[in-house]
Amino acid sequence: MPFSVLFILVVVQALSASPPAPQNIHVDNWLLTWTPAAEEGATTYTVQYSSFNSRKWTNVPSCVRISSNSCNVTSTKAEDEHGCVRLRVRAERRGLTSRSVEACSRHGDSCTPDFSLMPGPVSLTVYLSRNHSLAQEYGGHAKYRVYYGKEGEPLLKYKDAVASVTIPELQEGQRYCAQVQYLYFESSVGLATCTQCELIPESKKDSKQTVILVVGLIMVPVLLIPVMAYFLICKSERIKQWLRPPYELPEDFLEPFPERHLPISSSSPTEECCDVISSISPQELSN
């Protein structure tokens, strides 16, 4: 009995559970594609669009409850005078729907910003152009909204700017991602860019000393070799003088041999001094 109750609860929960939301939704040349749900079951998908400066979402007529994972959304471009629409996809199964996930664009155009990332010491700079089509028409009312966060986490934080922006106080050795979308009077315009990520490099405290040491090791032989060559070639005589031992030759050393005055000792051989001892005969000893 307990097993039957548990089985019924599992089946009811499985039937009542909402399907997983589609992933990796992006637009490439007005072809919208996404990754279908991994779970088994008859899951369909519906694509919706929202025009410029509007919060209303409308179904794309040719992409309602389709079983494929792609849809041509070229027709939505004509629904807005600027051609800037936002797109999203939701999954449906057994009358239940998943949350809607907005699409991103892999290529920049008049409705999607074009940007690049440059990591720095505990920071990430998002390079954006100040001169874009919306800014030319709407001036300072058209801005960028830069979403950012750690890789694998939702990009909940954001900064609004009219041009490039630097995100400070990031953790070293961590990958951070950014996504950019046009903004007009606090309303999102067009498709957001697909996410880009960069690694924040780890700073080395002794990097400056290392650079100085390497430069020094390179410069020492570069400077020392020419100096040594100069002294060996141009100052060889002086070097020989420095190496000559401190010895003075006699003044008449270079004169001919017969004229050279050699020191001659005038002293005679040493004479031995002896004491004369008179002899004594044995008879004298006996007397």
Query: Which domains does the chain possess?
Result: 18-105 (2.60.40.10), 116-199 (2.60.40.10)
- The pLDDT tens digits of the residues spanning 155-172 come to 999 999 999 999 999 999
Which pLDDT band holds residue 7 (cuts at 50, 70, 90)?
A: very low
Q: Give the strand order in the sheet containing 165-167.
A: 116-120, 123-127, 165-167
Residue 153 dihedral angles phi and psi, to the nearest 5°: -110, 155
Q: Is the per-residue pLDDT at 36 higher than 80?
A: yes
Residue 133, Cβ density class (10 Å: 0-12 exposed, 13-18 middle, ≥19 buried): middle
Identify the sign of the CA torsion 226, 229, 233, 238.
positive
Higher pLDDT, 14 or 224: 224
Q: Evaluate if pTM is beyond 0.75.
A: no
Q: CA-CA-CA-CA torsion for 94, 100, 103, 30, nearest 10 degrees?
A: 50
Higher pLDDT, 212 or 24: 24
